[in-house]
Amino acid sequence: MGSVVSCFSDILILAPIRGITNRNFRNELQRTFGGISSGLAPFITTREDGKVSEKLIQDTDPKSNLIESIPQILTKSASQFHQVATILKNCGHKKINLNLGCPYPMVATKGKGSGMLSDPKKVEELLAGILKVADYELSVKLRLGRESSKEFEKLIPILNDLSIKDITIHPRTGIQMYGGKVDIESFDKILPQLNTIPCYNGDLTTLEDYTRLKGRYPQITRWMIGRGALINPNLFTDISDGKGSAIDLDKIKNFIISVGEHHLNTPNGKSDFLHRMRESWEYLCKNFEQEKKVYKLITKSKSIDHYNDNIKKIFSGQFQAK
């Protein structure tokens, strides 16, 4: 009997979650669970003095990433975007993403990320300024608006006129952060007005979510998954296989231990180890029936050794998977 060939052809993209989905995390996620088509790396912020984080540049190095990792830039200046993009292009990147969706107030109040969406003129100036000199493909990730989904109505002709071909939409406003429901009704109205079919991002946390959304939007073939994959690292494979799988605590254990070990081998890895692990466990704990007790063990860890002892306790069998 011949092998079964999967007919799944959609593209599954790992969303950028700052502080978590770095190269180390992306590589271990693909190595342990698989199913990821590509990833969007956490954003690189531009500066007026031209300085750029070498650590974040190296994070997207094509030679050391197991999946295509597209760099993302957060800025409100076309010249600063191009300055950083040129560095990234010289590293081998052909596509670079502009962040117009970051909801955090410390970003938005500076007119960056979702903070720019309420001013369509500034959005147009930024996009046009980038495209004027770009010798790389520009992709854009954005929300429905900063305060209202109606703000997107004025962005549609800009995206169409400038022929932005790679757009990812998270159907929330910036002020929603990650709370409340995604605004599917507004997304329904936007979709037929765009000249390009966007990538969908937002509250795609289970195989059932994907099946429901794919049924609603059969024309969409690109899906970006963030928090869902942090909770269930096997979600990409669940979707591409078309069948859900039981939670495999042994694989999760091997995954998070490897993430931790690799982090300890990075510069200053010991100094922020507990903080980084807590960020991942905020999501992973949801795989356990007693998720609050599991997360409490992680947050109460006072040292790396203490953390490792608690990891053994968590996976000893006394905490059951959901």
Question: Hey, which residues are catalytic here?
Answer: 102
Instruction: Note the helical H segments in 60-206.
Output: 78-90, 105-108, 120-133, 156-161, 184-190
Buried b / exposed e over 230-266, threshold 16 CB at 10 Å, is: bbbbbbbbbbbeeeeeebbbeebeebbebbbebbeee
Instruction: Please tell me the distance from the alpha carbon of residue 278 to that of residue 284, in angstroms, as a whole number.
Output: 10
8 Å CB contact between 252 and 233? yes
In this structure, what are the phi and psi dihedrals at residue 87, rounded to the nearest 5 degrees? -60, -45
User: Residue 145: which residues within 8 A CB-CB, separation 6 or more?
Assistant: 114, 117, 118, 151, 152, 173, 174
Instruction: Please tell me the distance from the alpha carbon of residue 67 to that of residue 21, in angstroms, as a whole number.
Output: 12
Closest CA to 70 of 102, 28, 39: 39
Instruction: Please tell me the distance from the alpha carbon of residue 164 to that of residue 22, in angstroms, as a whole number.
Output: 26
